[in-house]
Amino acid sequence: MIKLERVEYKYNEGTPMEAEALHEVSLEIHDGEFIGLIGHTGSGKSTLIQHLNGLMRATGGDIRYNGESIYKEGFSMRDLRSRVGLVFQYPEHQLFEIDVFTDVCFGPKNQGLPREEIEERAREALSLVGIGESYYKKSPFELSGGEKRRVAIAGVLAMKPEVLILDEPTAGLDPKGRDEILGQVARLHKERGMTIILVSHSMEDVAKYVDRIMVMNHGRLVFNDTPRAVFSHYKELEEMGLAAPQVTYIAHALKEAGFPMETDVITVAEAEEAILCTLAMEEER
Amino acid sequence: MMRDITLGQYYPVESPVHKLDPRTKLFGTLALIIALFVADNVFCYGIAAVFLFGIIAVSKVPVRHILKGLKPVIFLLLFSATFNLFLTPGEELIHFWVFTITKEGLIRAGMMAVRLIFLVMGTSLLTFTTTPNQLTDGLERSLRFLKVFRVPVHEIAMMMSIALRFIPILVEETDKIMKAQMARGADFETGGLIKKAKAMIPLLVPLFISAFRRASDLAMAMEARCYHGGEGRTKMKPLKYRTADRFAYVILLVFPVSVAFLRVFL
Amino acid sequence: MGIIRAKNLIYNYIKRDEEDKIEEINEAVKDVTLDIEEGEFVAVLGHNGSGKSTLAKHMNALLLPSEGTIWIGGRDTKAEEALLEVRQTAGMVFQNPDNQIIASVVEEDVGFGPENMGVPTDEIWRRVDECLQAVGMSAYREVSPNRLSGGQKQRVAIAGVMAMEPKCIVLDEPTAMLDPNGRREVIRTVRELNKKKGITVILITHYMEEVIHADRIYVMDEGAIALEGTPEEIFSRVEELKNFRLDVPQVTELAYNLRKKGIPLSPCILDIQDFVRELAEFRKQRVSL
């Protein structure tokens, strides 16, 4: 479990250029949760996730991992980084080895594991993202965009993190590629019980997959609730440069036009059901 | 972590210095360099200081911002100062163990430091007040005579301005890749030289690949915008001397001459 | 004859081994024939690797066809002397906003194209003013591109192309690297240019919500044109689009699903208002029956 207590981060602290990127962010991430993190560009969400694995150090407040402060003397940041895996945006830009398999081995190798274990983990991670053995000896630079992305994600998975943070893992991919990656992430959550934090700009995707949404705005955590509850604030979200899924707008538009349906729908399937249900009720009358 | 590199970044304010022709500013920098190397007494440096700080004041670039440009050369500065301080023979001031500090050493170290500081401040002032494009335009025009010797002046100038545009982007990218590899357990800090050098591979390979990709993208974008070398090109901001430039040239000529004068007669 | 016309266009990427022997031929564009009229807003949809970017690069003579011909403003791109003319007729905006801005100051970048074309100084300034205005970036003219957001950078890139006064602008996935706000900014700008200035737009993308307002859509798959039609025609083929690794907006999918359940909505709804109106009409009719 990760717990943030009034975490603050200031750039250039103590100089006139001081700028606050995070303001008293307090939150908890429980084991096995699937969390969506949203916020417009520059809202502080990237800064926030880099705090979770110790790449950035808070200038105020505390972060506890399983009850232990990560800023305590003697706490191993490297150990934290292998437990909290972070997949950056465009992770394929970090590939560097001569072949796919060796590249995925990089993480576990840094963990100092024995060779068999390293290879075992690499194989497992690659199969988790759907990269078959025929790819192992290929150069990562020969692959298609979507394949590269999946290899890069495997590179983090091979470290067997307990928490996986993905910063816009679907940026630049086509709709099918998007669904494939998110499907695999959802499987990791469901089958392996991995805790997932998904940073995304797509409200539709977030609505479809996550249990809880955290919304960042101007360095503050402004909402932290179920998708349904968060998207009911669609007007406030718009003021922050965000939005709700399109179906939520459809529901509101229908209600305004005198169609007596529930407005808290957030996926196409829910909207369909709600509309059919309301129509059926009307017919009975 | 590398955001504080200010060297070579344009500082956008309106000032008479910003408006000068880049050739004037290049000449001014040259005059400063010559003057600093000619200077050998306090009066010379006094004039140089008046000259430099006068221009800085007119340029409206905060002194603090210019001083930040000194960061990358601090090591060099300390090195040369120490060197001069201890290794100049002359009238002994302090002596301990094998070290001797002489009066001449002290003066020389001080002068060298001032010389270097002024040099860096002057050149960074040039880049703060001149956009890279103007700068390369100025260089291109000033060095045009080299074309006779088949030096591709336009191409070199274009490469320079592109390099200046991409330095901040690549610095940011380095930071990003470094963090991404650290997230995979890479360690860039501990270990001996060989281990550290080896640790750079996961950083350098992606960085080079990215630089090549950017270069090829950029080449394509330039081609798409009809770039075909310097031939037949017009300028959006053609270089033209104005009254202010003529006035500036007078100052720029008087300044090194007066420094030379003080050196000879004082 | 249209401003961009291709006939049986084929492009092969040829991979050679160390001894320069052909190792693999990859047909990136297969037998594409198309005709785009002046003033049209045409979208080319396709998944990653469908050949849409390769096709786009032909419209600017950055690539030349392996077989077949493409004419830009009536000029065959293979004719070497037509090269600059082709590039002035069809300007191109690329995907990565950072890698297409050449100058370190916004206005100087916009002036880069006209400079290359040998446009006189006064005229360059007029064009730079006008184009920055047109994309709504006049306030940023003296700023470094590094300080702009992705959407703003792309608008600068569009202004840079507009300053060459092309008849046609080809945008190769201009929004793929932007956030939703940046995407909206760019699409709004492009639509305005098309409407107000009559610029022909060819927008290449895989974001479906960006193409609903296009006059015509080409869907590419495996290097060939798989579908062609108006947005209504294209988006009514939900299953087919999904097979091409594409998607439809939620409102279209919802209407499609309801239609399958027997609610008589039109085969393709792209807009929330249309959806609400049609559902209301259906209810009214049901009551009156």
**Residue B143 falls within a domain, yes or no?**
no
Domain covering C4-248: architecture: 3-Layer(aba) Sandwich (3.40)
Q: Is it the case that residue A34 has pLDDT exceeding 60?
A: yes
Judge whether B101 lies within some domain: yes
For A14-18, A185-189, B244-248, C149-153, which range has the lowest pLDDT when averaged over its residues? A14-18
- Chain A residues with CB-CB distance to B62 below 8 A: none
Least confident of A145-159, A213-227, B72-86, B161-175: B72-86
- In C, minimum Cα distance to A240 occurs at C181
Q: Are B21 and B242 in contact (CB under 8 A)?
A: yes
Count H helices, E strands: chain A?
A: 11, 10
Domain boundaries, given as residue ranges, for chain C: 4-248
Question: Average pLDDT by consecutive 10-residue portion of chain C (289 residues)?
Answer: 91 83 85 94 93 93 94 92 91 94 91 94 96 95 90 96 95 92 93 94 92 94 94 92 91 93 89 92 82
- Say if CB A217 and CB A22 are below 8 A apart: no
Residue B96 in this model has a pLDDT that exceeds 80: no
Looking at the fold, whether B110 and B188 belong to one and the same domain comes out as: no
Residue B6: pLDDT band (50, 70, 90) is very low
A2-224: CATH class: alpha beta
* Residue A36, strand partner residues: A198, A213
Lowest mean pLDDT among A89-93, B70-74, B130-134: B130-134
| ∠ Cα B182 B185 B189 (to 5°) | 60
> At residue A1, what is the residue type?
M
Chain A CB contacts of B182 below 8 Å: 55, 81
- Same domain (yes/no): B125, B36: yes
Please tell me the distance from the alpha carbon of residue B240 to that of residue A44, in angstroms, as a whole number. Answer: 46
Q: Is the pLDDT of residue B165 over 50?
A: yes
Cβ proximity of B86 and B105 under 8 Å:
yes
Which chain B residues contact residue A50 at CB under 8 A? 179
Residues of B in contact with A10 (CB under 8 A): none
CB–CB of C198/C39 below 8 Å?
yes
The residue-averaged pLDDT of B22-48 equals 88
- List the single residue in A with minimal CA-CA distance to B187: A110
Classify burial at C288, counting beta carbons within 10 Å of its beta carbon; exposed 0-12, middle 13-18, buried 19 or more.
exposed
Q: pLDDT at residue A250 above 60?
A: yes
The b/e string for C15-48 (b: 16+ C-beta within 10 A; e otherwise) is: eeeeeeeeeeeebbbbebebebeebbbbbbbbbb
Helices (H) and strands (E) in chain C, counts: 10, 10
Share of chain A above pLDDT 70, in %: 99
Per-residue pLDDT, averaged over A264-278, amounts to 93
Residue B232: pLDDT above 50? yes
Nearest-Cα distance to chain B for C48, in Å, is 18
Pair (B186, B83) in one structural domain? no
B121 and B185 inside one domain: no
Nearest-angstrom CA–CA distance, C34 and C70: 9
The CA distance from C50 to the nearest CA of chain A, in Å, is 10
Q: How many residues does chain A have?
A: 285
- Distance CA(B72)–CA(B47), nearest Å, equals 26
Task: Output the CA torsion sign for C115, C173, A201, B218.
Answer: negative
Q: Is the pLDDT of residue A234 over 60?
A: yes
Instruction: Examine residue B163 and state whether it is found in any structural domain, yes or no.
Output: yes
d(C-alpha B91, C-alpha B112), whole Å: 19
Whether A53 contacts chain B with CB within 8 A: yes
Residues facing residue A127 across a β-bridge: none
Question: Do B244 and B214 share a domain, yes or no?
Answer: no
Range(s) of the domain holding residue B32: 1-130+239-266
Complex confidence, ipTM: 0.89
> Considering chain A, what is the average pLDDT of its residues?
92
- To the nearest 10 degrees (0 to 180), the angle between helices A268-284 and A246-256 is 20
3-state DSSP: chain C helix, strand, coil percent, rounded to 5? 45, 25, 35
* Buried residues in A174-212 as b, exposed as e (16+ CB within 10 A): bbbbbbbbbebbbebbeeeebbbbbbbbbbbbbbbbbeb
How many domains does the structure of chain B reveal? Answer: 2
Domain match, B123 and B250 both: yes
Q: What is the pTM of this model?
A: 0.86
Q: Which amino acid belongs to residue C211?
A: V
CA-based radius of gyration for chain B: 23
Facing residue for B236 by CB, picked from C128, C142, C146 = C128
Q: Does A50 touch chain B if contact means CB atoms closer than 8 Å?
A: yes
- Regarding whether B100 and B22 lie in a shared domain, the answer is yes
Question: Are both B33 and B118 inside the same structural domain?
Answer: yes
Distance between A247 CA and the closest CA of chain C, angstroms: 6
Report which of B23, B266, B259, B264 is spatially closest to residue B118, judged by C-alpha positions: B259
- The C-alpha angle with vertex B246 and arms to B243 and B251, in degrees rounded to 5, equals 130
In a mutational test of the A interface, the residue from B170, B184, B207, B213 whose CB has the highest number of chain A CBs within 10 Å is B184
pLDDT of residue B5 exceeding 60:
no
Same domain, B81 and B120: yes
Chain A partners of B184 at a C-beta cutoff of 8 Å?
Answer: 81, 94, 106-107, 110, 155-156, 159
pLDDT of residue C148: 92
Q: How many CB atoms lie within 10 A of CB A132?
A: 8
The more confidently predicted of residues C68 and B79 is C68
User: Mean per-residue pLDDT for A202-226?
Assistant: 94
Q: Could you tell me if B29 and B122 lie in one domain?
A: yes
**Same domain membership, residue B99 and residue B176:** no
- Write the residue in A81, A111, A141 that is nearest to B183 by C-beta: A81
Q: Alpha carbon of A108 to those of A82, A262, C85: distances in Å?
A: 9, 49, 55
Closest CA relative to residue C276, chosen from A281, A228, A252, A274: A252
Choose, out of C104, C146, C169, the residue to mutate when testing the contact with B (most B CBs < 10 Å).
Answer: C104
* Distance between CA atoms of residues A201 and A39, nearest Å: 8
Amino acid at A249: Y
DSSP string, A92-124: GGG--SSSHHHHHHHHHHHTT--HHHHHHHHHH
Residue B12 sits at φ, ψ, to 5 deg, of: -80, 95
Examine the domain organization and report whether B119 and B23 are in the same domain: yes
Q: Name which of C46, C48, C261 is nearest A173 (Cβ-Cβ).
A: C48
Is the Cβ pair B184, A107 closer than 8 Å?
Answer: yes
Question: What gap in Å lies between CA C263 and CA C253, rounded to an integer?
Answer: 13
Comparing A64-73, B47-56, B87-96, C59-68, which segment has the lowest mean pLDDT?
Answer: B87-96
Record the tokens describing residue B218, joined without a space.
């950029």
Q: Identify the pLDDT of residue B102.
A: 82
Residue B4 has what pLDDT? 44
Residue owning tokens 């022709």? B21
Q: What whole-number distance in Å separates Cα of residue B163 and Cα of residue B148?
A: 25
- Asked if pLDDT for residue B66 goes beyond 50, the answer is yes
pLDDT higher than 90, residue A182: yes
For chain A, give percent helix, strand, coil, nearest 5. Answer: 45, 20, 35
